[in-house]
């Protein structure tokens, strides 16, 4: 082996050889451009390529003499093996230190070579966080680091993790990094009104160093709050719609807008969608566990904010899923949380009480006769009126007030309360919750619904959490199915069924989430031979569309309650005029 610069021969076969060090003549640095989208790690040195030419000169040499060592005797190998066996095994701490690190991937819409190289040359996320000295109240899970790495480089993103996996924590941690790197100076978080307090607490927990402004109150106060120069502003959807003209007047723009429970903008023609999409912003992130609730149009509405034009309603579910892949990250608890306590589901099929059955039979027969006599004049609204009436009878007999479900629920809660556990009970009607509250007062039942003020709702949650005498929390699907952290509850009862299984999943995941103290038992009440059983059979198909789009697999074009299916609940044919209009 030779080195033309040194001019000496190296050989390991000889007993001695010479090593010649080289002299550095000059160093030249060529700058590499960085993209304007994201500059991490925090306060990084500029990337540089170093070119080192070598100077031809007479080398200085040093001589080394090799003295061969006699091989070990054969009988000593056993002694060496014994030493190896007694060596301590790697500890958990040492194995964790060598675990795979999280890299920030290159978004698919980054095409310039220098920009792609910028992302590829970034350190891993864990190193970045250590460099920034960002501390967390609790150690994030590996999949949460992956969520942060997904959000950071993207201008438009949907974090669609299943409820209970910490979407808000991942978004807040990403916001911290953007603010530290000075890539974001003004961030707007938009959420449902009932979750403003929850977001305030989450920000205090995961980003205590960031100043936060909450927009609420009368118009003059909101004007002042919008004008505050703080890193993060939190507002609810209703305030945003109300203050559209005010925001335009103030000329506000944001480096990042984050939508929590982003399914609120699924309707393209809604005022909420228009108000959100009119915001002047650089980045658009959406957080939702149910990006597809009823049809593919839901996802199109959200993409109108995240990446306008990326998908459209004319696409097949498979094509839509492929087009959305780079903008959507979806994980489920069963895939990423192997140690999460189990969730046990059971359908409790209940026979109506005799007087309840008679009231139900009369109401159904009268309703069907009325719809049949209307002929082509029958509409979806008329059918829904009958469905709602029958569902209410399944809960409580409108004539006598008796309830087979209440009897079963009371029996179940006796065991829950005696064991010192807590239970959540969901219904779609506030008046049903009020009836249950009176009947279940011995269990310290508390109500939580949209008719209560935010202050009263927050106080109710605190009392339910801390008062051992309060074993039951009665919630409406509308107010209690999103954003609440109730993982200290071990039982969930669905007193009646919602129209959409995704909303039911949201309700269940109030208890079955990170931090759950034990197995969660979910009980769904279904009355036998009633409208509830028929709806359950139809709604089971809705999950197919959700999985089809998010997994890019072929499947049915629609999983919702079509007009034909609604009329078929009562063995009625859809009027031709309705079919043609559709």
d(CA 19, CA 28): 27
**In this predicted structure, which of 266-270, 451-455, 469-473, 534-538 has the lowest mean pLDDT?**
534-538
Residue, of 135 and 159, whose pLDDT is higher: 159
User: Which two structure tokens, joined as six digits, stand for 2?
Assistant: 């030779």
Q: Which two tokens stand for residue 40?
A: 């991490």
DSSP per residue, 360-424: HHHHHHHHHHHHHHHGGG--HHHHHHHHHHHHHHHHS-TTT---HHHHHHHHHHHHHHHTT--EE
Report the sign of the C-alpha dihedral through residues 108, 294, 477, 269, in that order: positive
Q: Which CATH architecture has domain 123-336?
A: 3-Layer(aba) Sandwich (3.40)
**In contact, 341 and 519? CB cutoff 8 Å:** yes
Q: Lowest-pLDDT range, 5-14, 188-197, 227-236, 558-567?
A: 5-14
* Minimum mean pLDDT range among 131-140, 213-222, 295-304: 131-140
Q: How far apart are CA 536 and CA 450, in angstroms?
A: 26
Provide the pLDDT for residue 381.
Answer: 84
Structure tokens that stand for 484 in this block: 């609440």
pLDDT at 553: 34
Judged against a pLDDT cut of 50, whether residue 230 lies above it is answered with yes
Task: Tell me if 123-336 shares its fold with 344-568.
Answer: yes
Give the helix/strand (H/E) hosting 426: strand 423-427
C-alpha gyration radius of the chain: 32
The pLDDT confidence band at residue 76, using thresholds 50, 70 and 90, is very low
CATH number attached to the domain at 344-568: 3.40.50.300
Residue 249: pLDDT over 80 = yes
Rounded CA separation 291/297 (Å): 10
Residue 556's Cβ-count burial label (10 Å; 0-12, 13-18, 19+) is exposed
The stretch 44-52 carries a mean pLDDT of 44
Dist. CA 158–CA 285, nearest whole Å: 6
- d(C-alpha 400, C-alpha 403), whole Å: 9
Distance CA 508, CA 498 (A): 12
In whole numbers, what is the pLDDT of the chain averaged over residues? Answer: 77
DSSP tag of 444: T
pLDDT top residue among 87 and 243:
243
Rounded CA separation 312/166 (Å): 29
Would you say residue 110 has pLDDT above 70? yes
Does residue 578 have a pLDDT over 50?
no
pLDDT at 566 over 70: no
Q: Return d(Cα 105, Cα 124) in angstroms, integer.
A: 10
Q: Distance (Å, rounded) from C-alpha 268 to C-alpha 285?
A: 17
The DSSP line for 132-175 is HT---SSPPPHHHHHHHHHHTT-SEEEE-PPTTS-HHHHHHHHH
Give the Cα separation of 546 and 556 in Å (integer).
Answer: 10
Omega of the bond leading into 41 within 30 degrees of 0 (cis):
yes
- For 324-353, write each residue's pLDDT tens digit: 888 999 988 777 776 667 777 888 888 899
On the question of pLDDT at 200 being above 60, the answer is yes
Residue 500 has pLDDT above 90, yes or no: no
Maximum distance among all Cα pairs of the chain, rounded to whole angstroms: 110
Residue written as token pair 């978080």: 189
Q: Please report which confidence band the pLDDT of residue 42 belongs to, taking 50, 70 and 90 as the band edges.
A: very low
The stretch 382-409 carries a mean pLDDT of 92
Task: Give the H/E segment covering residue 477.
Answer: helix 477-480
- Give the torsion sign (CA, 172, 178, 179, 185): negative
* 8 A C-beta contact, residue 408 and residue 456: no
pLDDT 10s digits, 434-487 = 999 999 999 999 999 988 988 898 899 899 989 999 999 999 988 765 657 777
Confidence at 565, pLDDT banded by 50, 70, 90: low
User: d(Cα 400, Cα 407) in Å, to the nearest integer?
Assistant: 14
Determine what percent of the chain is predicted with pLDDT higher than 70: 73
Which segment of 76-90, 242-256, 402-416 scores lowest on mean pLDDT?
A: 76-90
Complete DSSP assignment for 186-209:
-EEEEE-GGGHHHHHHHHHHH-TT
Res 14: pLDDT: 40
pLDDT for 333 equals 74
Domain boundaries, the chain: 1-88, 123-336, 344-568
pTM over 0.75? The answer is no
Per-residue pLDDT for 80 more than 60? no
Q: Scan for tokens 């009355």, then name that residue.
A: 527
Does the pLDDT of residue 84 top 80, yes or no?
no
Tokens standing for residue 540: 């089971």
Neighbours of 252 (CB within 10 A): 17
Structure tokens at 359: 């009231």
């Amino acid at each position: 082996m030779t080195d033309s610069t040194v001019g000496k021969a190296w050989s390991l076969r000889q007993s001695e050889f010479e090593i010649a060090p080289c002299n550095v003549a000059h160093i030249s640095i060529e700058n590499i451009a960085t993209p304007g989208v994201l500059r991490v790690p925090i306060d990084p040195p500029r990337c540089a390529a170093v070119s080192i030419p070598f100077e031809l000169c007479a080398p200085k040499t040093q001589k080394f003499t090799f003295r061969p060592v006699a091989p070990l005797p054969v009988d000593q190998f056993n002694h060496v093996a014994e030493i190896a066996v007694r060596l301590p095994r790697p500890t958990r701490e040492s194995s964790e230190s060598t675990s795979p690190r999280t890299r920030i991937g290159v978004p698919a819409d980054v095409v310039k070579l220098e920009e792609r190289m910028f992302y590829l040359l970034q350190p891993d996320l864990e190193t970045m966080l250590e460099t920034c000295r960002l501390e967390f109240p609790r150690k994030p899970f590996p999949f949460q680091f992956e969520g942060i790495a997904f959000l950071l480089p993207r201008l438009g993103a949907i974090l669609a993790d299943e409820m209970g996996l910490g979407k808000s924590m991942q978004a807040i941690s990403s916001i911290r990094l953007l603010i530290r790197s000075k890539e974001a100076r003004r961030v707007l978080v938009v959420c449902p009104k009932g979750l403003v307090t929850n977001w305030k607490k989450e920000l205090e927990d995961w980003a205590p160093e960031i100043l936060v402004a909450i927009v609420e109150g009368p118009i003059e106060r909101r004007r002042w709050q919008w004008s505050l120069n703080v890193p993060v502003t939190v507002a609810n959807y209703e305030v945003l719609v109300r203050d559209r003209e005010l925001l335009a007047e103030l000329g506000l723009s944001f480096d990042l807008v984050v939508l929590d429970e982003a399914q609120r903008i699924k309707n393209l023609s809604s005022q909420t969608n228009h108000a959100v999409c009119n915001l002047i912003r650089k980045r658009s992130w959406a957080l939702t566990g149910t990006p597809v609730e009823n049809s593919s149009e839901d996802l199109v509405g959200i993409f109108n904010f995240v990446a306008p034009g990326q998908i459209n309603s004319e696409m097949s579910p498979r094509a839509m899923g492929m087009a959305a892949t780079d903008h959507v990250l979806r994980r489920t608890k069963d895939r990423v949380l192997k140690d999460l306590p189990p969730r046990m589901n059971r359908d409790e099929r209940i026979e109506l009480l005799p007087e309840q059955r008679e009231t139900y039979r009369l109401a159904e027969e009268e309703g069907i006769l009325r719809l049949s006599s209307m002929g082509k004049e029958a509409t979806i609204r008329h059918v829904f009126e009958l469905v709602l009436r029958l569902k209410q009878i399944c809960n409580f007999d409108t004539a006598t007030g008796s309830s087979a479900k209440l009897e079963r629920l009371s029996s179940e809660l006796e065991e829950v309360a005696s064991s010192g556990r807590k239970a959540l009970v969901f219904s779609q009607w506030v008046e049903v919750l009020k009836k249950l509250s009176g009947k279940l007062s011995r269990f310290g039942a508390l109500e939580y619904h949209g008719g209560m003020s935010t202050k009263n709702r927050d106080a109710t949650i605190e009392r339910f959490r801390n008062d051992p005498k309060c074993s039951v929390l009665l919630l409406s699907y509308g107010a209690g199915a999103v954003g609440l952290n109730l993982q200290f509850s071990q039982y969930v009862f669905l007193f009646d069924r919602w129209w959409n299984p995704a909303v039911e999943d949201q309700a269940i995941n109030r208890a079955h989430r990170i931090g759950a103290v034990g197995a969660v038992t979910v009980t769904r009440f279904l009355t036998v031979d009633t409208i509830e059983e028929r709806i359950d059979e139809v709604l089971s198909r809705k999950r197919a569309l959700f999985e089809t789009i998010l997994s890019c697999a072929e499947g049915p074009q629609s999983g919702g309650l079509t007009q034909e299916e609604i009329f078929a609940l009562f063995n009625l044919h859809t009027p031709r005029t309705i079919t043609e209009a559709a």
